Amino acid sequence: MDKNSLLHLALQYQDEDKADLFFTKILGLEIGTKFNVKANFSKVIFGINHDVAVKIYSGKNITFEIFFTNEISKIGYEHICITLNDKQDIIKKCQDYGLEVKTYHRSNRDYLFIKDFAGYLYEIK
């Protein structure tokens, strides 16, 4: 995996059948794994205190994480996942500029999310 690359795009859908149709029939992607994000993780990272089902759709150079929820909210699960060489440097820069940094530790793994000046959420790996 190259550093400083886009890993996935995360979007929110209400209708799983329509998501399947769009991502498989229209975009030609394959359905990957399906999993649930637990409420405690969702609350810390996204500010939404609910379990949520997620399905992966992917192709050769693109992956979508689709979060399924019936709620229509200004707060969502959309985020951009990228790799960066130096996480500590990114954390320091965000703090220096007053940007929000969210961390979460689960199952021997640390998660790092940052928000940009426009409020977009980035997962940093």
pLDDT value, residue 51: 95
Q: What is the model's pLDDT at position 77?
A: 78
CA neighbor of 79 nearest in space, from 39, 111, 108? 111
Which DSSP letter does residue 117 get?
T
Question: Rounded to whole angstroms, how far apart are CA atoms 102 and 56?
Answer: 23
Which residue, among 86, 67, 87, 85, has the nearest Cα to 77 in the 3D structure?
67
pLDDT of residue 83: 82
Indicate the pTM of the whole model: 0.70
> pLDDT per residue over 13-36, tens digit each?
888 999 999 888 887 789 999 999
Rounded CA-CA distance 114/80 in Å is: 10
Spell out the domain ranges in the chain. 6-124
Class in CATH terms, 6-124: alpha beta
Q: b/e string for 46-62 if b means 16 or more Cβ within 10 A?
A: bebeeebeebbbbeeee
